[in-house]
Amino acid sequence: MLDRDILRLMLSQAGVSDKRIAQWMPAIVAEAQRHYPKICPDLRHRVCPGMRAFLVKLRRRGIAAGLVTGNLSRIGWHKMHQAGLRNFFSFGAFAEMGRTRTELAAKAMDQARRMKLCPAEAKVFLVGDHLNDIRAARENQISIISVATGPMSRQELSAFSPDFLLDNIRELPLEIIES
């Protein structure tokens, strides 16, 4: 779920009307983004196995990496900073930029092309750990690399036939991305 959807669900379950939620949402989003960096812990221990080394390899080979996340922008970038990964990402698409992960993936690809980090004919991959990532890749006609290090098991991810299914990102030969 995107951050705004989580906030909307929490408020709805607390009995707040849709009208009030719509009225309050801009202020809640602004406050969440202002407050989160103050309370976010160190996240380096939460980085998926092999991810840092994978991002280093991408950088060395001149392959641009973008962040697509359901977090609001300030929250998403701060999480990457706290995980020690912020400098690996050149661009990103966040919750306030679209209503679905599919829209966010499309916006990230548009950004990469506008920034001349990715030619129109370049092969694009989405790396994710959830069915929503698989859907976003499929709906944007890009390849999906599913990694079973998140909320869904390998078996659950396998049921949706990702292009590549890994137990962790270390298993991915970079030649797949470079071809």
Q: Where are the domains of the chain?
A: 3-39, 44-178
pLDDT digit string, tens, across residues 97-139: 999 999 999 999 999 999 999 888 889 999 999 999 999 999 9
Q: Which distant-in-sequence residues (6+ apart) come within 8 Å of 30 by Cβ? A: none
Comparing CA positions, the residue from 39, 28, 24 lying closest to residue 3 is: 28
- pLDDT confidence of residue 36: 96
Contact 139, 160 (CB under 8 A): no
Four-point Cα dihedral 34, 149, 170, 108, nearest 10:
-40
- Other C-beta atoms closer than 10 Å to the C-beta of 23 total 12
Query: Per-residue confidence at 178, pLDDT binned at 50, 70, 90?
Result: confident
Contact 72, 1 (CB under 8 A): no
Contact 166, 148 (CB under 8 A): yes
Tokens of 142: 């890009």
- pLDDT confidence of residue 179: 63
Q: What is the average pLDDT across 50-63?
A: 94
Rounded CA-CA distance 151/128 in Å is 11
Query: Per-residue confidence at 174, pLDDT binned at 50, 70, 90?
Result: confident
- pLDDT confidence of residue 18: 97
Tokens of 20: 């009030």
pLDDT digit string, tens, across residues 138-164: 999 999 999 999 999 999 999 999 999
Tokens of 85: 């990964």
Tokens of 130: 């959830």
Handedness of CA 160, 161, 163, 166 (dihedral sign): positive
pLDDT above 80: residue 2: yes
pLDDT digit string, tens, across residues 10-45: 999 999 999 999 999 999 999 999 999 999 999 999
Q: What phi and psi values does residue 147 have, to the nearest 5 degrees?
A: -120, 125
Homologous superfamily of 44-178 in CATH? HAD superfamily/HAD-like (3.40.50.1000)
- pLDDT confidence of residue 119: 87
Rounded CA-CA distance 145/105 in Å is 14
pLDDT above 90: residue 175: no
pLDDT above 70: residue 173: yes
